[in-house]
Amino acid sequence: MTSTNTIIQFENVTKQYDNDSVVLDHVSFEIEKGKFYTLLGPSGCGKTTILRLIAGFTEASSGTIYFNGKRINDVPANKRQVNTVFQDYALFPHLNVFENVAFGLRIKKMKNADIAIKVKEALRFVNLEGYEKREIKEMSGGQRQRVAIARAIVNQPEVILLDEPLEGLAPIIVEELLRLIQTLIRDEGVTVILVEQSATKILP
């Protein structure tokens, strides 16, 4: 029986690509609200495919995906309360920090005054207040990752997906980002799903 606290549910989900390779075979699980989950495993085991299915970037071959109890198999990515932080950050190099974080809000045609408030709050949360005009090329890897997280949280999603965000970062930056994630869960009630190939980086 599905818990009333369940936010994401996979029910016998299979993903098979055109070359007949089956990445996920009748996978079922539940994710509860406001918790931190980690998907661990080697490259090619289906971790990122699960994230892409949740985000709506790819479609399940069979099975059902639920979000807050509602079937979302056919719901487009831009209609889901989910934001993804990619391994390569996927930031826009021609936009400064402010405009990178504001991008999703501008797509929603939010008023400039409201955008300014929300971006400032998001940058304060990730300890980048005052970096609004900084160019992306001038930021370190850890700072770019925080910009990517700010861009994700500014839209106030219910779920944030992190696709190997710790790769290539120094241990001290990894610790800082993990603390940031825990604060996000505690203060905002967001559900976070982190993908990594090994538990080494996330274990104390």
Predicted confidence pLDDT, tens digits, the chain (204 residues)? 456 799 999 999 999 987 778 999 999 999 999 999 999 988 888 999 999 999 999 999 999 999 999 999 999 998 999 988 887 778 999 999 999 999 989 988 999 999 999 999 999 888 899 999 999 999 988 888 889 889 988 988 999 998 887 776 777 778 888 888 888 888 888 999 998 877 665 655
Query: pTM to 2 decimals?
Result: 0.84
What residues are paired with 2 via a beta bridge? Answer: none
User: In the prediction, which pLDDT does 2 show?
Assistant: 59
Phi and psi dihedrals of 138, rounded to 5? Answer: -90, -5
Burial class (CB in 10 A: 0-12, 13-18, 19+), 33: middle
User: How is the beta sheet containing 70-71 ordered, strand by strand?
Assistant: 22-32, 6-16, 62-67, 70-71
- CB distance 36 to 194 below 8 Å: yes
- Position 199 scores a pLDDT of 67
* Range list of H helices, 154-190: 171-188
pLDDT of residue 202: 65
